[in-house]
Each structure stands twice: as C-alpha cells, then as structure tokens.
Amino acid sequence: MSFLRLSDIDVRGKRVFIRADLNVPQDDAGSITDDTRIRASLPAMRDALARGAAVMVTSHLGRPKEGQPNEADSLAPIAERLGELLGRTVPLIRDWVDGGPWHAALKSGDLVLLENCRFNKGEKADSEPLAQRMAKLADVYVNDAFGTAHRAEATTHGIARYAPAACAGPLMAAELDALAKALANPARPLMAIVAGSKVSTKLSVLTHLAQKVDSLIVGGGIANTFILAAGGRIGKSLAEPELVGEAKAILDKYPGKVPVPIDAVVAKEIAASAKATLKAVEDIAADDLILDLGPETVMALKTIIAKAGTIVWNGPVGVFELDAFGEGTKALANAIAESKAFCIAGGGDTLAAIAKYGVADRIGYISTGGGAFLEFLEGKTLPAVAILEGRFAARAG
Ligand code: ADP
Ligand code: MG
C-alpha cells in the first residue's frame, strides 16, 4: 500500500482538514461513556499543531438524518472532551461547509471542531458538489478515520479527490501497517480466529481468509455452523443453517485447516443463573445451547496458537459476558498474550473481551475499526484508502 502520510507533508502555515472518527458511545444524557476513539485521534491533531498548521477536525456521530441537525447528535460534548485532553478551548463550528468569518480568521496553531459531518446533505452519498465545497476549506486533507474507511462518503472519499493534497493520518497509517504486517507478508504459520455472533457477515470473511491462512479457528455461532457442516448436532444453538453449504465447502476445500470443536459448554438458556454443563459434541441434546468451546477443544487450539507466527483475531469464542461461558475466550486470550506471534485483534466485543481478561498490552495491535477491519479481512478494497493510493500514484506517475 502506497499513500502519503501526514508526516510526509510540510504543514507549516497550511490549513489542515482532519477527518477523524470521534463517534464515541454516549449515555442517555449525552455524556461520553468511553473516550478511547477521541484519545486515539489526538496524535494527528497534536502533530499538525506542533508543526504550525491551522487545524479543522470533523467526524460523524450517531445516525442523524442528513439536512436536519439535532442536539442529540451534536459534537458539542466531543468539543468539550477534546478541549480537556488538549488543554485548550475547542470552538465548535456549525454550518461550516462554505467557510465564513471563522475560516478567514483561522491561523497557525488554531484548532476548531467542525460539527457532525453527517448533518450535511450528500455526506453519505459521497456527493461530488459537497466534497468540492469541503475541499475548498483545506490545503491538506488528512484521513485518520480507519473506522469509516470502508465507506465512501464526502468526508472520507470525495474530499480526498479534490483537496490540494491528501494523506493518511497516523492512526489510519498504523492500522494499515498492522494489517499489512499480518496479511500481506506474515510470519508463518498464520492463523485466524473468527468467532462471535455475526454469522452471515463473517462467513464471507472466512471464505477469503481460508485461502490465506495456515489454520482457521472458529468459535461462537460460526463454530456451530461448522459443527452442522461436519454432520454434528448443535441443539438450538446460534447458527445459520442456510450457510452450512458454504461452511462445508471450506471444510472440503481445505482439509485439516479448520478444526471443528469436539466439546462444548452448554446450557438451556443464556442467563447468569443458567447451569453450565460440559458435553462432547455428539452428546448435545435438542434443547441445548452451545455457549462456549469445551476444554479439550481449547487445549488443541492452544497448541496451534503456541506455534503461530501471526494471529488475526475477531470475535469471542463464547458468551464471555457471563463468566460460566467465558473460559474458552479467557484461555485463548491468555494463550495469545503468551505467544510470540504478532497478533492483530479487532471488533467491538473482541476488544471488550481483551479488556476483561487484562491482556491488552500483550496484543501486538488492537484495531479501532470494527466494520473496516472485517472488510479488510474479507479482501475488499477500502474506498477511503483506495483514493489516497490513487492520489499518491497520480503524484508519483
Ligand atoms: P465482535 O464485536 O468482536 O465483532 P460479534 O459482535 O460478532 O463480535 O460477537 C460477539 C458476541 O457473540 C458476544 O456478545 C458473545 O456473547 C456472542 N457469542 C459468542 N459465542 C456465542 C454463542 N456460542 N452463542 C451465542 N452468542 C455467542
Ligand atoms: Mg459486536
């Protein structure tokens, strides 16, 4: 992947437009409940400011109706938190697309936050006229929003075509470097763990990954679909029976690559009070729910993890939110933490599991982008990255 990085560009005295991902979770009162994404976005802002740029930052937040700004989706709380973290007042600019006195007054060392980019009509459709108007605000466009890199929108894609210069911010660049390290030229054996509950989205990930990896570990609802494909029983567990054919095709095409679970922790319901029972897969009853991998399966997987050179991890292998069904995920998290392999992990619930088991600092790279991470694993082109590569190629050629 070849694209310009913010660090490649002299931004002194320039107007720098940063598209960040500041879409943080909020409670009903609008208070930020987790500011990880804001903190992860600070390096781009600090770097541009330190090198004498005038900085504009925007992001989406929530799912507002375009053309209808509303208080609940305003970036006002983000401006406040950003101000606390940067130790300065961060003005919030509304109706910013065509500039104005605030833009004329922007000078080196200033930083402003531009209100929710999804308030603008045409943002999601990647409207060219909108992107062109936005591009006029900037000398340098910086995309630092890996989390939305799989979407072509006016602030993630169109603007990059028209701005005088376009580059990746440090967070975006770090994500892409880590993914390239894991998948483009990985230390072998390369193994992937794909688990969790989004069965249908993730089966296409598996189909792509199966040809790249040396072993493919399945868990959660995905594993249940593979148990069915291997002729086993899953009771009333989460699975997608329509996708058994696809799972079977993977098993047939890559013999031995996908270990199918041999034992499981089951219960009659998903509840903290549910009685957890350990069963061999062949003993699973019609009213059982498989809620975690069993210890024999986990033992076999730990051997594979110990030998791996690279690990790509998306999805908890059990209902880890309930401790009775968290042992499999916990054991794999610890095995990954102890292994010498380079591990990249991504996914909202995967990150929650990594935090719960306290292994975050022993995972090689933790991706901030759920959807974009999965689409990259599927082998899809991320439009926000493709346009930066296109600009770079045009410049070089
Ligand atoms: P991520 O957010 O990391 O991409 P997903 O959203 O796909 O992961 O899946 C996470 C959820 O899957 C967790 O809430 C977990 O409880 C659930 N899960 C894992 N294993 C099972 C299972 N066997 N049956 C039902 N749900 C499961
Ligand atoms: Mg999830």
Gyration radius (Cα) of the chain, Å? 23
350 Cβ inside 6 Å of ligand 1 = yes
Q: Residues of the chain with pLDDT > 70: what percent?
A: 100
Residue 70: exposed, middle, or buried by beta-carbon count in 10 A (0-12, 13-18, 19+)? exposed
pLDDT per residue as tens digits for the range 270-297: 999 999 999 999 999 999 999 999 999 9
Residue 16 has pLDDT above 70, yes or no: yes
Give the pLDDT mean for 255-268: 97
Q: Is the pTM of this model over 0.75?
A: yes
Q: Of 15, 19, 81, 198, which one is the catalytic site residue? A: 198
Nearest ligand to the C-alpha of residue 201?
Answer: 1
Q: Could you tell me which residues come within 8 angstroms of residue 94 by beta carbon, excluding any fewer than 6 positions away?
A: 69, 115
Which of 193, 224, 290, 319 to mutate to test ligand 1, by most ligand atoms within 8 A of the CB atom? 319
Residue 244 has pLDDT above 90, yes or no: yes
Give the pLDDT mean for 50-78: 97
What is the spatial distance between Cα 78 and Cα 31, in angstroms, rounded to a whole number?
Answer: 9
Q: Which atom of ligand 1 is closest in space to residue 350's alpha carbon?
A: 3
319 Cβ inside 6 Å of ligand 1 = yes
Closest CA to 214 of 185, 195, 188: 188
pLDDT per residue as tens digits for the range 137-146: 999 999 999 9
Closest CA to 384 of 166, 181, 179: 166
Residue 204 has pLDDT above 90, yes or no: no
pLDDT per residue as tens digits for the range 139-196: 999 999 999 999 999 999 999 999 999 999 999 999 999 999 999 889 999 999 999 9
Q: Residues of the chain with pLDDT > 90: what percent?
A: 91
Residue 396 has pLDDT above 80, yes or no: no
The pLDDT value recorded for residue 166 is 98
Q: Identify whether 37 is a catalytic site residue.
A: yes
The pLDDT value recorded for residue 397 is 63
- For 263, phi then psi, to 5°, come to -145, 165
The pLDDT value recorded for residue 111 is 98
pLDDT band for position 269 (cuts 50, 70, 90): very high
